[in-house]
Amino acid sequence: MPGWKTAVSLIAASVTLMGLSAPASARARADMEERPCPVAVPEGTTCGYLLVPERRDAYQSDTIKVGYAIRKAASPVGEPVVFMSGGPGSASIPLTEMITSIAPDRDVVVIEQRGGRWSEPRLECPEIVDGVLRDLAPPTAVTVTPSPSPGPITATPAPAPNGAMGLAARTCKARLTVDLRGYRTQEIAADVVELRRSLGYDKWTLFGVSYSTRAMLLAAAMDPEGAKSLVLDSYLPERSQWYDQAMAALRSTLNGLGVTDRFDLAVKNINAAPVTLATRDPLTRRRVMVRLTGDDVATLLAESFADPEALPILPALVDGLAGGHTDLLQPLVDGAGGSLTSHEWGLYYAVQCQDEAPANTFADRRLFTADNDATVCAEWRLPPSGEEGALTQAPVLILAGQYDPTTPSAAASQATENLPGARFQEFAGVGHGVFLSSECGRRTISAFLADPAAPAPCDAAVAPRAMIDPGSVHFTGAAYTAAGAPWVLAPLGAFALLSLFQLAGGALTVRRDGLLTLLAGITGVVFCAIATWSVLAVDDEVAFAVGIPPIIFWTSPLAVVSAGLSVVAAFRERAPGVLILPAATGLVFAAWLVGWVL
């Protein structure tokens, strides 16, 4: 009697498929499992796993574990808040404390994405990181300017273009033992719905950032009775042509900063003469070299708009690059390592290749993010997801950063028109991920949670930090290097100390041929005092990533004069031999200052 068994199997599979959009109350309660919290979390927080099918559209699918954390308020006021981080593939639980600060009087639930760092299985893909580094490696070993940081520099042999990324994609997919079709936005959104029911909450506010805004909106559409309201920070509309519009979005953002022409010049110059820099492999910590074209630099700039510490320096950085100061790229190159390890790349590509890539043509692959993603998706050959068409009648707060090329403010504002209960707010001077860098953004979210109709509690038109004016710095990578290796400032310390001794000694011996020593001490001390004052007067220390106060450059002749006077004093007739020390120190310092710092 095989016929009736087949029929039952088909019916069961159909019911499972419909489960993605069925109301939560109509389905069985998901299992839960306690676990220790994997990272530091606020007091009173407990963690666990939600046990769910890997594929709700497949009969007898494997069970996977979705990580979550819950911080119970002592006396809850209003509905709880559930938060998910972006990516896809970024961890959520480490942000529990920040979300708690936004909603201190509410229960806060933080849910990981299936396949994420604190879920099981974890879809990590270190091969992708290695592939990125190999594709950026110089074609042959080259000599770079020695770095003050210790450690050997390794030249990674570079394969043919895209070869390393294609191999990385095939290797990672072969190693992963999961069904990648179960790792997409529909399933991630359904996990959110299951968690609400399993925790016993009647309603809650869904809070997403970047990619997870799409998952949270879909969860609200799948579970309308459970969605009191939504907060969508850096909103990513469904089927956006993110890859195809990436370069245009970057140029538009740079135009807002007034540096488009300088950006074009920098990209043109570096495409003509690529830059080779040393950095650290974020996985092994060994020193490697990367070779960057102008388009690669454009990619790093686009990614930097998500870093609150990098955003203020971008206008000055672009101007400096256009002027040939390619050493200023070092902070971006070093910072890229953190970005490479902040995602679980197996999950990232499972989602992107099914949900985002199909809406794009990849006609423009100048940015290596687009090129890499097109390469991986071509290797993985996952089926495209169907249309979601997620809508909600619940109140929605959409936040956007003024300088966000990833999820542009204009696109988010336009998409708001499709959500009848939505309210849009742009925040000045902010990039990708408003709540991460804007106190006003966090206060606006808190006010919305208390009353969706409440007026803004602060002025979103006031930027949280001023941009670094290119004219306010003398471009040099020396300050950034010194921040990581303070010992390189030894010549400055020695020069300042000996200048003080010269000042004191010259004053005591001015009547016995000590005038030159006194003058050397005065000029040296004055220079050091001006340099110290100018450094302490800098409003935002992030400026040192691209340069130093210009007054140090303009007063540097004082240091050269001091060194010259010390030499003359040391080699005059009957000069004490001890004067050789400040003379030698002055010459070394002058060479260090003019040849490296400036």
Q: Which of 380, 415, 436 is the last residue of a domain?
A: 380
Do 338 and 440 belong to one domain?
no
Q: Among 357, 380, 403, identify where a domain stops.
A: 380
What gap in Å lies between CA 318 and CA 298, rounded to an integer? 10
C-alpha 214/C-alpha 184 separation (Å) is: 11
Could you tell me if 279 and 352 lie in one domain? yes
Confidence label for 238 from pLDDT (cuts 50, 70 and 90): confident
- Specify whether 225 is located in the same domain as 88: yes
Number of other CB atoms surrounding residue 176 within 10 Å: 18
Residue 455 lies in a domain: no
Whether residues 119 and 133 share a domain: the answer is: no
Give yes or no: residues 96 and 28 share one domain.
yes
- Specify if 460 maps to a domain: no
Q: State residue 598's pLDDT score.
A: 87
416 and 533 co-located in one domain: no
pLDDT, tens digit (0-9, with 9 covering 90-100), for 398-436: 999 999 999 999 988 988 888 988 999 999 999 999 999
Find how far residue 300's CA is from the centre of its chain. Answer: 10
> Where does the pLDDT of residue 505 fall: very low under 50, low under 70, confident under 90, or very high at 90 and above?
confident
Residue 460 token pair: 């979103």
pTM reported for the whole predicted model:
0.88
Final residue of a domain: which of 380, 403, 426?
Answer: 380
**Quick check: 329 pLDDT over 90?**
yes
526-541 burial, b at 16+ Cβ within 10 Å, e below that, comes to: bbbebbeeeeeebeee
Q: Please classify residue 337 by burial: count the beta carbons closer than 10 Å to its beta carbon, then call 0-12 exposed, 13-18 middle and 19+ buried.
A: middle
> 346 has which bridge partners?
none
pLDDT band at 186 (very low <50, low <70, confident <90, very high): very high
Instruction: Please report whether residue 20 resides in a domain.
Output: yes
Q: Tell me whether residue 94 is in a domain.
A: yes
Decide: 76 and 108 in contact? Cβ < 8 Å. no
| 131/116 same-domain check | no
From residue 265, alpha-carbon distances to 106, 299, 472 in Å are 51, 15, 21
> Do 375 and 311 fall into the same domain?
yes
- Taking the mean position of all CA atoms in its chain, how far away is CA 42? 24
Percent of the chain with pLDDT over 90: 80
User: Tokens 């742009």 appear where?
Assistant: 426
* Parallel/antiparallel/unpaired status of strands 63-71 and 45-53: antiparallel
Q: Is the pLDDT of residue 511 over 80?
A: no
What's the CATH code of the domain at 215? 3.40.50.1820
Note the pLDDT of residue 533: 96
416 in Cβ contact with 422 (< 8 Å): yes
**Phi and psi at residue 46, in whole multiples of 5°?**
-120, 155
Q: Is residue 462 part of a domain?
A: no
Helix axes 211-222 and 185-199, enclosed angle (nearest 10): 60
pLDDT the model gives residue 30: 62
Q: Which helix (H) or strand (E) holds 518?
A: helix 515-536
Distance (Å, whole) CA 339 – CA 132: 12
In 418-491, beta strands by DSSP E: 422-427, 474-475
**Residue-range definition of the domain harbouring residue 438:** 2-123+190-238+393-450
Q: Are residues 134 and 221 in the same domain?
A: no
If you write DSSP's letter for every residue of 140-154 in order, what string do you get?
A: S----PPPSS-S-EE
* Number of residues written out for the chain: 598
Nearest to 564 by CA among 538, 591, 541: 591
Task: Dump pLDDT digits (tens) for 108-166.
Answer: 999 999 999 999 999 999 999 999 999 999 986 433 444 444 444 444 444 444 589 99
Domain assignment present for 427: yes
Q: Answer yes or no: do 149 and 285 share one domain.
A: yes
Give the HSE-up count for residue 370: Cα atoms under 13 Å, Cβ half-sphere. 23
User: For residue 573, is pLDDT > 80?
Assistant: no
User: Encoding tokens for residue 320?
Assistant: 């400096």
CB 158 within 8 A of CB 138: yes
First to last CA, the chain: 87
Pairing of strands 204-209, 227-233: parallel
Q: Is residue 183 part of a domain?
A: no
Residue-wise pLDDT tens digits, 457-488: 999 999 999 999 999 999 999 999 999 999 99
Residues 260 and 374 in one domain: yes
Query: Across the strands, what pairs with 34?
Result: 48
Tens digit of pLDDT for each residue in 15-63?
333 444 443 333 444 699 999 999 999 999 999 999 999 999 999 999 9
Please state the domain count of the chain: 3
Neighbours of 9 (CB within 10 A): 12
Residues 162 and 298 in one domain: yes
pLDDT digits (tens, 9 = 90+) for 541-571: 999 999 999 999 999 999 999 999 999 988 8
* Residue 250 domain flag: yes
